[in-house]
Every structure is written in structure tokens, then in C-alpha cells.
């Protein structure tokens, strides 16, 4: 069974000839949201069993 902890639904502007800055900003916002959700839901302080 899969447990959904976060759903990230964002629009990313298309790449256009000569105007890629909006696309890159959209990609950066998406990656920031993914990393924030990951850090919010995953406990990195737990050590793995030996």
C-alpha cells in the first residue's frame, strides 16, 4: 500500500525560444516545493539498524 504524504501540483511554463527564464523559475519553484515536502515528512535523524 502506498501512503501519499504530500501532493505537489504546480504549473511550469513551457520553454519558448529565447524566453527560458520563466521556465527555469518554474522548475526551481517546483524543486523547492519537492525538497520542502521531503524534509517535512522524512526524519533524517533516525539511524538505520545495523
What string of DSSP letters covers 1-44? ------------PPPBTTB-HHHHHHHHHHHHHHHHHHHHH--T
Question: How confident is the model at residue 50, as a pLDDT?
Answer: 66
pLDDT in tens, 5-49: 889 999 988 888 888 899 999 999 999 999 999 999 888 888 777
- The whole model's pTM is what? 0.74
pLDDT at 1 over 90: no
Task: Output 32 or 50, whichever has higher pLDDT.
Answer: 32
Q: Which residues contact 30 (CB under 8 A, 6 or more apart)?
A: 8, 10, 12
Question: How confident is the model at residue 45, as a pLDDT?
Answer: 86
Question: How confident is the model at residue 18, as a pLDDT?
Answer: 84
Amino acid at each position: 500500500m502506498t501512503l501519499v504524504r504530500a501532493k505537489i501540483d504546480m504549473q511550469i511554463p513551457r520553454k519558448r525560444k529565447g524566453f527560458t527564464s520563466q521556465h527555469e523559475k518554474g522548475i526551481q519553484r517546483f524543486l523547492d516545493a519537492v525538497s520542502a515536502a521531503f524534509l517535512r515528512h522524512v526524519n533524517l535523524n533516525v539511524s538505520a539498524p545495523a
